[in-house]
Structure 1
Amino acid sequence: MSTPHRLTRDDARRLVVRAQLLDADRPGDVVEVAEQLGYIKIDPTATIAPCEQTVLWSRIGWSYEPGQLTKAVEFDRLLFEFEGAFRPASLLPLMLPGMRRWPQRESSRQWLDANARFRADVLARLRAEGPLLTSAIPDTAQVSRAPDGWYGTNQVPHMLEFLMRQGEVAVARREGRNRIWDLAERVYPQNLPEYDEVETARLLDERRLQAAGIVKQKSPWTPVGEAGEPATVEGSKWKFRVDPAALASLGQEEGGRVALLNPYDGILFDRPRLSEIFEFDYVLEQFKPKPQRKYGYFAHPILMGDRFVGMLDAQVDRKRDVLQIDAIHEFLPFEEEESEMVRAEISDLAEWLGVTVTGLP
């Protein structure tokens, strides 16, 4: 067993920030971001802009335009949509074995078996007519799943989701927020490399660690198995795994910057790591009653360098074409230079959105 790397908290934070492409060395395009992060979450909540757009803007900056994402997904097929996220096509061969094994849950298998004719109907219609909106596919289910708060009584969305997870159908494109479905063979690249289950698991662990930089060795939030190398972090009792490529780049830092992060940004996903390394106990207040909110309905964390320094409570008013700043919550009072940096980033955000800023203190 190799001797663990001994890292400071500063080292650990910088590894995460750099792995998440939030240091001063900005990536060049959408595909580069997706390849490094592994996924770009899709979420329609748009107090400022939808998650997939703000994730990319917070990395690439002023040169990012939403049409670049559309091109990469729908025309170049360098990204694909799967389970609420855009993912790089390079991950598809590693995901296919898991798709072929799905579903594991007995109730899902029973529903599919009971709806064999319905499944065949959906695939036949897509083969003959696709790409199609969900609403263009008739519900011929023999057995229905009960409404669950996300889906109503129509069984077509359930079947399409199941078939996507099995690798039979795929999202070909979107019209607004609506997905257009087609057979996976007409959407996904063909003649992909094949991997056995052991190699697939190893490569997926490596990709997750690549996006994380450093992670707790047995984290249920970011499972990486034995990928990377062992490490300890000063002041932490955790055992970590660290990406050796990220470790080698520690001395090549370009410096820090300010980033305004969507609440569903991937760097915020692993809450225990966020608390342990960054000492940031993040709580999404979107689903809290208004009187219980401290920072706002959908406040965006503010990252400065390798520390979380505050929360931005803001919203775009398209009727007035303004970015309304309701509050900038400072965890510790900003110094003048820090305040100027945050204001500059907010101004850049407004310019990217094509609106003016109002309410900026």
Structure 2
Amino acid sequence: MVVELTKAQARRIAVRAQAFESGRPSGVLDTVRRLTFVKVDPVSAVAQSADVVFWSRLGEGYDPAEVTTALEVDRTLFELDLMIRPVEDLSLFQPSMRRWPKHERTRNWIDANDAFRRDILIRLTGAGPLPATEIADTSTVPWSSTGWTNDRNVTTMLECLMMRGDIAVSARRDGQRLWDLAERVYPEVPELDHVEAYRLRNERRLASLGVLRERKAGGSPNEPIDTRGIGVAATVEGLRGAWRVDPGALDRVDQPLEERTALLSPLDRLVFDRKRLEELFDYEYVLEMYKPRDQRRWGYWAMPILIGDRLVGKVDATADRGAGVLRVDAIHEDEPFTRDVVEAVFGELDSLAGWLGLEIGGRAVGLA
């Protein structure tokens, strides 16, 4: 069976899957379970991206301390490879940890630095959890790279040991990860074989996004989903190629969306896949923070505006905490805004400013 979806149906599926209906998730844990992960990123133009993701789902009542408690005290969430995940998903990743790394260069580097590896484990056994700055570099072969990881041997080995499941992120202090033995951080979870874990992980990711092109794993390391053979085969009106849709989404495919307005982090999963974004939402977006100022069309950290199942524009805003102001420098309309849309957008900006404890200011405020 192949399901034929209109673009409007596909958009509704995608928006519902990402928890953007008027009925919000019940809290932090419910949000992460529905999204499968929230990416940790240090950029903080408005607030850290992970916090904006939570705020956009939970509203002004969201408190970042809830995430810290879930990660460090309750252990209902865990951090792996800069992703916050629900702890019940740990069993989906442990088989891959046992098989990691797949690249020969990384294996050879770890083997060449076996004494260094053992030094780290001994240090953490006696004194963990510790930040990378308190772990000595006893490597004999430096890690070489053309990027920022070149000769960052401690950080690289810590991340290798994390990916192997030997150590884990126990907490964060002032943005630094504190590392400890995995057995002290992770709870016991059911063991799965690699094939089953791989299938379940892909099914979870499809459910969190609703509808995706049929493809094997690849592309961005943050989107390692293989949609072949999972979900239900589908086509999308006006788009070439095969798609896969979460079967749980089909029961409500024709049900109107309980719509609301949301301002999104540029790293939000709803907008992260730019090709899918253009195909399903007819929406163009580029993160311009790495562009020179005079080459930006929308702004350093322009936030996509979602209303119901439509992405209608971008808000160029930054938090000036020193001045106590959320600066709104531009509001870009991808389609002409009605008065209702303007009011809805500024309602979200009021909510964002209130959550941040700031006043709204900037060049675009006069549009309200």
Could you list the per-position Cα deviations for residues 29-66 of structure 1 after superposition, in whole angstroms to 9, with x for gaps in the alignment?
Answer: 11111111111011111110001100000011122111
User: Structure 2 vs 1, CA of residues 154 and 213 (structure 1 numbering), >3 Å: closer, same or farther?
Assistant: closer
Of 288-297 and 139-148, deviating more is 139-148
Contact 1:210–1:243 (CA under 8 A) maintained in structure 2: yes
Q: By how many angstroms is 1:205 displaced?
A: 1.4
Contact 1:6–1:231 (CA under 8 A) maintained in structure 2: yes
Q: Distance in 1 between matches of 2:31 and 2:278?
A: 25
Q: Tell me, what secondary structure is at the counterpart of 2:149?
A: coil
Contact 2:259–2:308 (CA under 8 A) maintained in structure 1: yes
Task: Tell me what 1:259 maps to.
Answer: 262
Of 198-207 and 347-356, deviating more is 198-207
Contact 1:208–1:224 (CA under 8 A) maintained in structure 2: no
Residue 324 (structure 2) pairs with residue 327 (structure 1): no
Gaps of 5+ in 1: none
Task: Tell me what 1:202 maps to.
Answer: 199
Task: Tell me what 2:222 maps to.
Answer: none
Q: By how many angstroms is 1:152 displaced?
A: 5.4
Q: By how many angstroms is 1:101 displaced?
A: 0.7
Could you list the per-position Cα deviations for residues 278-335 of structure 1 after superposition, in whole angstroms to 9, with x for gaps in the alignment?
Answer: 1112211111122211001111111111111111101111111110101011111200
Task: Tell me what 2:215 maps to.
Answer: 218
Q: Tell me, what secondary structure is at the counterpart of 1:281?
A: coil
Contact 1:208–1:223 (CA under 8 A) maintained in structure 2: no
Q: By how many angstroms is 1:249 displaced?
A: 2.9
Among candidates 339, 343, 347, match of residue 346 of structure 2: 343
Residue 241 (structure 2) pairs with residue 244 (structure 1): no
Residue identity opposite 2:212 in structure 1: V
Q: Distance in 2 between matches of 1:356 and 1:79?
A: 33
Could you list the per-position Cα deviations for residues 114-151 of structure 1 after superposition, in whole angstroms to 9, with x for gaps in the alignment?
Answer: 00000000000000110111111111101101354423
The number of equivalent residue pairs is: 358
Q: By how many angstroms is 1:227 displaced?
A: 1.2
Task: Tell me what 2:108 maps to.
Answer: 110
Task: Tell me what 1:98 maps to.
Answer: 96
Residue identity opposite 1:47 in structure 2: A
Contact 2:257–2:308 (CA under 8 A) maintained in structure 1: no
Residue identity opposite 2:253 in structure 1: L
Q: Distance in 2 between matches of 1:129 and 1:175?
A: 16
Q: Distance in 2 between matches of 1:47 and 1:164?
A: 29
1:220-299 paired onto structure 2 within 5 Å: 220=218, 222-251=225-254, 253=256, 255-299=258-302
Q: Calculate the aligned-residue CA RMSD, in Å.
A: 1.4
Q: By how many angstroms is 1:81 displaced?
A: 0.7
TM-score of the aligned structures, taking structure 1 as reference length: 0.96
Q: Tell me, what secondary structure is at the counterpart of 1:311?
A: strand
1:1-80 paired onto structure 2 within 5 Å: 3-80=1-78
Gaps of 5+ in 2: 220-224
Could you list the per-position Cα deviations for residues 204-240 of structure 1 after superposition, in whole angstroms to 9, with x for gaps in the alignment?
Answer: 1110111110111126454322111111122122211
TM-score of the aligned structures, taking structure 2 as reference length: 0.94
Q: By how many angstroms is 1:254 displaced?
A: 5.2
Task: Tell me what 1:127 maps to.
Answer: 125
Q: Distance in 2 between matches of 1:314 and 1:48?
A: 7
Contact 2:9–2:254 (CA under 8 A) maintained in structure 1: no
Q: By how many angstroms is 1:23 displaced?
A: 1.6
